[in-house]
Amino acid sequence: MLEGKRITLGITGGIAAYKTAELVSSLVKAGADVQVAMTTSAQKFITPLTFEVLTGNPVHTDLFQNDFSGGVLHIDLAQKTDLLLIVPATANIIGKAANGIADDLVSTLIMAATCPIMFCPAMNVAMYNNPICQINISKLKDCGYHFVEPASGRLACGVTGKGRLAELTTILQSIDQILTPQDLAGLKVLVTAGPTREPLDPVRYLTNRSSGKMGYAIANAAALRGAKVILVSGPTHITPPDLVDIVQVETAIEMHDAVLKHSDSSDLIIKAAAVADYRPVEISDHKIKKQADSMTVPLQKNPDILGNLGTRKQEKQVLVGFAAETHDLELYAKSKLINKNLDLLIANDVTLPGAGFDSNTNIVRIFWTDGTIEALPKMEKGQVAEEILDRAAKILRTRRGES
Ligand code: CTP
């Protein structure tokens, strides 16, 4: 996500300064070019050498260290960056920024930057709750600055409350969100993911091999691109992305109900779930005991959720389905695209290495209603998610007369 991005990190003087080493390491691993500027107080908690080693770049500590390719350090640094991060953001730097004070390198960078700026406050709970600090934060938010709320817990000063630096994953997700073009802002996207479980008795159920990874990747990518995302998920082992509203379901009937509740108000629906086609006719309320050498379980058909969505599809709504096949992929994909009244059908041959259910990658073919078939190469599921969203967004824009 951060390949080729230039991120400048301003570190100020709080104990959470030591946590920025891990943040910088993650940013560099994600492909960002990271420049670090430190206040004098920050250097009391962690040394510039740590960041020089982690970033491979010189660390900037002095406003008047005018050796930056012949330019003016704070102007060059501020303008050649895609994102300015202030971590940890103390009450002091927040106060200075809110009042236009630029008396050292980090505060001057904030004044000079024209890129997005994100503050991650970390301080004692009383300082954070101090009305002056809160007024300063509101003022900065009103000016368009981004904030990642501190977490609650035991603080370094021994007090328990709100003021701990937000978790690294939360900070990284906010960075991704800020740097991702918000082309789905204002849209509601409904995604389904995972398998369904059809109970047989209190200890057994029928299910399938779906891991949910593809649907979760789509939900996360859509949320990062600015959509309001509802993720209706069957049972999986994946931690739900922070940015989506998750509805956990178990059976196909529950998924059907949850999807219908949100479908009419959704602009885009992507049905990546592997829904069980049949469920046991009866659910025994006690454990079924073994008796004869063979047994037959009568099954009845589940509702075809996607088929129903196709029947009630609204004029400007875009509907995307999946087809996981083991043979005759093209034949089945084309018929599902038409029979279920879809706008796109994403098909994969689950027998291919790298395209199976629990894989981190997928190899998909995209079927369009005009007969076009696009064969994408093997990709990480996150990248496949972006490709699907790009195409769905294009159809949506055309349908809305936007391009
Ligand atoms: N689907 C659904 N409800 C069902 C079955 C499938 O919404 N009861 C959706 C899936 O989420 C997927 C698409 O329909 O987006 C295709 O699912 P798939 O299982 O491949 O197709 P089926 O229609 O069930 O046909 P078959 O099992 O015969 O291949």
pLDDT digits (tens, 9 = 90+) for 34-52: 999 999 999 999 999 999 9
Residue 155: pLDDT band (50, 70, 90) is confident
The percentage of residues in the chain with a pLDDT greater than 90, rounded to a whole number, is: 90
Mutation choice for ligand 1 from 306, 326, 331, CB with most ligand atoms inside 8 A: 306
What CATH number did the domain enclosing 388 receive?
Answer: 3.40.50.10300
Atom of ligand 1 nearest to the CA of 325: 20
The CA angle 208-214-217, to the nearest 5 degrees, is 145
Contacts of 104 (CB under 8 A, 6+ apart): 39, 40, 63
Mutation choice for ligand 1 from 191, 268, 277, 328, CB with most ligand atoms inside 8 A: 277
Span from the CA of 301 to the centroid of ligand 1 (angstroms): 12
As for how many domains the chain has, the answer is 2
pLDDT digits (tens, 9 = 90+) for 180-195: 999 999 999 999 999 9
The residue nearest atom 6 of ligand 1, judged by CA position, is: 275
> Does the CB atom of residue 84 touch ligand 1 within 6 A?
no
Q: What is the pLDDT of residue 76?
A: 83
Same domain (yes/no): 145, 235: no
Same domain (yes/no): 107, 192: no
Same domain (yes/no): 162, 292: no
Span from the CA of 315 to the centroid of ligand 1 (angstroms): 23
pLDDT digits (tens, 9 = 90+) for 135-144: 999 999 999 9
Q: Summarize the confidence of residues 169-173 as an average pLDDT.
A: 94
> Does the CB atom of residue 212 touch ligand 1 within 6 A?
no
Same domain (yes/no): 216, 270: yes
* CA atoms of 200 and 286, how far apart (whole Å): 10
Span from the CA of 274 to the centroid of ligand 1 (angstroms): 7
Same domain (yes/no): 314, 368: yes
Same domain (yes/no): 146, 270: no
Q: One-letter amino acid identity for 128? A: Y
Residue 226: pLDDT band (50, 70, 90) is very high
Whether 73 is in a domain gets the answer: yes
* CA atoms of 366 and 183, how far apart (whole Å): 21
Whether 276 is in a domain gets the answer: yes
The percentage of residues in the chain with a pLDDT greater than 70, rounded to a whole number, is: 99
Whether 55 is in a domain gets the answer: yes
Which of 179, 206, 227 marks a domain boundary?
179
pLDDT digits (tens, 9 = 90+) for 256-311: 999 999 999 999 999 999 999 999 999 999 999 999 999 999 999 999 999 999 99
Same domain (yes/no): 219, 92: no
Span from the CA of 275 to the centroid of ligand 1 (angstroms): 6
Same domain (yes/no): 170, 259: no
> 319 phi and psi, to 5 degrees?
-120, 125
Residue 70: pLDDT band (50, 70, 90) is low
Residue 66: pLDDT band (50, 70, 90) is low
Same domain (yes/no): 226, 171: no
Whether 388 is in a domain gets the answer: yes
Q: Summarize the confidence of residues 362-372 as an average pLDDT.
A: 97
Least confident of 76-80, 178-182, 391-395: 76-80
Q: What is the pLDDT of residue 237?
A: 96
Q: Summarize the confidence of residues 145-159 as an average pLDDT.
A: 91
Averaged pLDDT of the chain? 95
Whether 157 is in a domain gets the answer: yes
Contact 117, 145 (CB under 8 A): yes
* CA atoms of 276 and 234, how far apart (whole Å): 11
Q: What is the pLDDT of residue 63?
A: 86
> Does the CB atom of residue 324 touch ligand 1 within 6 A?
yes
Span from the CA of 396 to the centroid of ligand 1 (angstroms): 23
The residue nearest atom 24 of ligand 1, judged by CA position, is: 277
Mutation choice for ligand 1 from 208, 231, 262, 271, CB with most ligand atoms inside 8 A: 271
What CATH number did the domain enclosing 166 receive?
Answer: 3.40.50.1950
Which of 179, 197, 226 marks a domain boundary?
179
Q: What is the pLDDT of residue 179?
A: 95
The residue nearest atom 17 of ligand 1, judged by CA position, is: 323
The CA angle 192-194-196, to the nearest 5 degrees, is 100
Is the four-CA dihedral 157, 163, 168, 171 of positive or negative sign?
A: negative
Contacts of 263 (CB under 8 A, 6+ apart): 190, 269, 309, 312
* CA atoms of 90 and 76, how far apart (whole Å): 24
* CA atoms of 13 and 18, how far apart (whole Å): 10
Q: What is the CA radius of gyration of the chain?
A: 26
Same domain (yes/no): 197, 111: no
Q: Summarize the confidence of residues 54-80 as an average pLDDT.
A: 82
Whether 1 is in a domain gets the answer: no
Residue 124: pLDDT band (50, 70, 90) is very high
Least confident of 67-76, 100-109, 336-345: 67-76
Cα within 13 Å of Cα(192), Cβ side: 31
The β-bridge partners of 193 are 233
The residue nearest atom 14 of ligand 1, judged by CA position, is: 306
> Does the CB atom of residue 35 touch ligand 1 within 6 A?
no
Whether 201 is in a domain gets the answer: yes
> Does the CB atom of residue 271 touch ligand 1 within 6 A?
yes
Place of tokens 């906010």: 174
Is the four-CA dihedral 277, 281, 286, 290 of positive or negative sign?
A: negative
Same domain (yes/no): 194, 286: yes
The β-bridge partners of 248 are 233
Domain that holds residue 109: 6-179
β-strands 245-248, 228-233 pairing: parallel
pLDDT at 68 over 60: no
In 3D space, the residue among 97, 107, 135, 127 whose CA is nearest the CA of residue 41 turns out to be 107
Instruction: For residue 120, indicate whether it is catalytic.
Output: no
Whether 382 is in a domain gets the answer: yes
Q: What is the pLDDT of residue 71?
A: 72
For the chain, the first-to-last Cα distance in angstroms comes to 26
Which of 179, 213, 232 marks a domain boundary?
179
Same domain (yes/no): 235, 156: no
Q: What is the pLDDT of residue 249?
A: 98
Q: One-letter amino acid identity for 362? A: N
